[in-house]
């Protein structure tokens, strides 16, 4: 199957390349995109002479690569939109390994073009879950999740999707899980980037530390599996071996247990679930020897509570949540604001927002733009010491 990979230079992107490299009989890479980091281009082109098109942000670098590889078409943010790559390449599947809002338009474009979409970019569903489900309901494209929790739930639902009482997402608790809230005042991004069990991109690492990542994943599960907020729970789990689980009405559980390695969910999505897998049934979490679980407390990670807001009220709240967080995280990564400012900013933007129900794509883009401006005004005030909470 011909594959177009968006975000090839990132953590999920490079692991997708590993999966394709290991399964050359089933997958052919026909195109890919990178952002500002272009160093992986030559390696990928050498391994995959099947690539016809490459996108990158910087036009000057694109010019350099056009000379170096005259048989490949290089486009840049100056000449094209990222989603143009979807129309230009002969692909059946688009793997979206982009981070943040940059993944939204490519996701929508891929579905509209009837592609199979293997989606790591959960932000697409946070911002536009309703719109994406509408496209799927109209028979446009197909959607396969890459997120490890949702991949585990997919497998468990494949085994048995009746009499499910709850789906439960497991969470590591992020880099600062051992600290109480008072100890979070001075924590720096550089400390957060030492994440316990997964090596991931910078943004998702901070998202894990604030646990807005789990908030996003509840929303993601809600849209993917059409489950209401009331049927989705969270459990803290130290080792990241139990990737998520279902609780059935008869009191039994089923989950997927394996060594954390994102190549597994990536592979499962690339094969659209048509490969062997194993899940495990258990009577209680305490039966899972050697694995440690803790009760999730909303007071410790208040951002998670916003999932209820987004899944129940829908509309443009997801767009607000995503953009306020994205800008706050960028500012935190640059040491411009404190860790707890991230959640203050996100709550402020959500509280002040007037929801638009059944938004069109242009409504979502407008809200995204407005929140971007508003969030930067608040960040500037924080930097000048003028913000009072």
Nearest distance from C-beta of residue 46 to ligand NAD, angstroms: 18
Q: Residue 9 half-sphere exposure, CB side, CA atoms within 13 Å?
A: 14
* Residue 193 CB, nearest approach to ligand NAD (Å): 12
Bridge partner list, 272: none
* β-strands 280-282, 232-237 pairing: unpaired
User: Interface with ligand NAD includes 264 (CB under 6 A)?
Assistant: no
Measured CA angle at 291 (ends 166, 276), to 5 deg: 65
Cβ proximity of 111 and 140 under 8 Å:
yes
In angstroms, give the least distance from the CB of 21 to ligand NAD. 17
Count of residues of this chain found to bind ligand NAD when the rule CB under 6 A is applied: 28
Check residue 189 for interaction with ligand NAD (CB under 6 A). no
Q: Are 205 and 192 in contact (CB under 8 A)?
A: yes
Element (H, E) at 112: helix 104-112
Per CB under 6 A, the list member of 64, 133, 201, 233 interacting with ligand NAD is 201
Q: How far is the CB of 115 from ligand NAD (least distance, A)?
A: 18
Instruction: By CB under 5 A, tell whether 207 contacts Mg ion.
Output: no
* β partners of residue 95: 5, 118
Three-state DSSP class for residue 142: strand
CA–CA distance from 55 to each of 6, 7, 60, 114, 116 (Å)? Answer: 9, 10, 12, 21, 20
238 φ, ψ (degrees, to nearest 5): -65, -40
Applying CB under 6 A, the span of 199-207, 232-240, 283-291, 356-364 interacting with ligand NAD comes to: 199-207
Contact flag: residue 9 with ligand NAD (CB under 6 A): yes
Partner that binds at residue 34, options Mg ion, ligand NAD, none, CB closer than 5 to 8 Å by kind: ligand NAD
147 contributes a contact to ligand NAD by CB under 6 A: yes
Q: Binding partner of residue 341 among Mg ion, ligand NAD, none, CB under 5 to 8 Å per kind?
A: none
Interface with Mg ion includes 308 (CB under 5 A)? no
Residue 122 binding result from Mg ion, ligand NAD, none, given CB thresholds of 5 to 8 Å by partner type: ligand NAD
Nearer to ligand NAD (CB atom), residue 98 or residue 164: 98
Q: How far is the CB of 127 from ligand NAD (least distance, A)?
A: 11
97 binds, among ligand NAD, Mg ion, none (CB under 5 to 8 A by kind): ligand NAD
5 binds, among ligand NAD, Mg ion, none (CB under 5 to 8 A by kind): none
Of residues 333, 315, 366, 329, the one with CA closest to residue 128: 315
Closer by beta carbon to ligand NAD, 146 or else 345: 146
15 closest CA partner among 177, 231, 179, 199:
199
- How far is it, in rounded angstroms, from Cα 114 to Cα 66? 30
* Residue carrying structure tokens 């098109």: 53
Nearer to ligand NAD by Cβ, of 12 and 168: the residue is 12
Q: How far is CA 137 from the centre of its chain?
A: 22
CB 6 within 8 A of CB 75: no
**Binding of residue 147 to Mg ion (CB under 5 A):** yes
Q: Please, what is the minimum distance in Å from the beta carbon of residue 255 to ligand NAD?
A: 17
Asked if 76 interacts with ligand NAD (CB under 6 A), we say no
Residue 385 DSSP label: T
The residues binding Mg ion (CB under 5 A) are 147-149
The residues binding ligand NAD (CB under 6 A) are 7-13, 33-35, 37, 57, 82, 97-99, 102, 120-123, 147, 198, 200-201, 203-204, 262
């Amino acid at each position: 199957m011909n594959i177009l990979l968006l975000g090839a230079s990132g953590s999920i992107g490079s692991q997708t390349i590993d999966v394709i490299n290991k399964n050359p009989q089933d997958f052919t890479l026909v195109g890919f995109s990178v952002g500002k980091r272009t160093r992986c281009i030559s390696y990928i082109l050498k391994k995959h002479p099947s690539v016809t098109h490459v996108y990158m942000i910087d036009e000057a670098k694109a010019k350099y690569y056009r000379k170096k590889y005259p048989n490949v078409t290089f486009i840049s943010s100056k000449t094209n939109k990222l989603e143009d790559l979807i129309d230009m390449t002969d692909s059946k599947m688009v793997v979206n390994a982009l981070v943040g809002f940059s993944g939204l338009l490519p996701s929508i474009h891929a579905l509209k073009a009837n592609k199979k979409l293997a989606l790591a970019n959960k932000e697409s569903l946070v911002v536009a879950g309703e719109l994406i489900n509408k496209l799927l309901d109209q028979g446009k494209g197909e959607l396969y999740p890459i997120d490890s929790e949702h991949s585990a739930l997919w497998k468990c639902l494949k085994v048995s999707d009746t009499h499910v009482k709850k789906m439960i997402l497991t969470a590591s608790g992020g880099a600062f899980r051992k600290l109480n809230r008072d100890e979070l005042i001075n924590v720096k991004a550089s400390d957060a980037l030492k994440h316990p069990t997964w090596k991931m991109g910078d943004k998702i690492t901070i998202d894990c530390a604030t646990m807005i990542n789990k908030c996003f994943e509840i929303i993601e599960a809600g849209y993917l599996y059409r489950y209401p907020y009331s049927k989705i729970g969270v459990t803290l789990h130290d080792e990241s071996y139990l990737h998520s689980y279902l609780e059935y009405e008869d009191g039994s559980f089923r989950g997927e247990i394996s060594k954390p390695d994102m190549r597994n969910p990536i592979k499962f999505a690339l094969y659209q679930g048509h490969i062997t897998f194993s899940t495990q049934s258990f009577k209680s979490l305490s039966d899972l020897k050697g694995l440690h679980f803790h009760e999730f407390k909303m007071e410790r990670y208040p951002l998670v509570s916003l999932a209820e807001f987004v899944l129940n009220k829908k509309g443009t709240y997801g767009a607000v949540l995503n953009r306020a967080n994205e800008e706050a995280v960028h500012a935190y990564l640059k040491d411009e604001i404190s860790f707890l400012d991230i959640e203050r900013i996100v709550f402020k933007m959500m509280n002040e927002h007037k929801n638009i129900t059944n938004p069109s794509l242009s409504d979502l883009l407008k809200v995204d733009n407005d929140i971007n401006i508003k969030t930067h005004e608040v960040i500037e005030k924080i930097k000048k010491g003028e913000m009072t909470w």
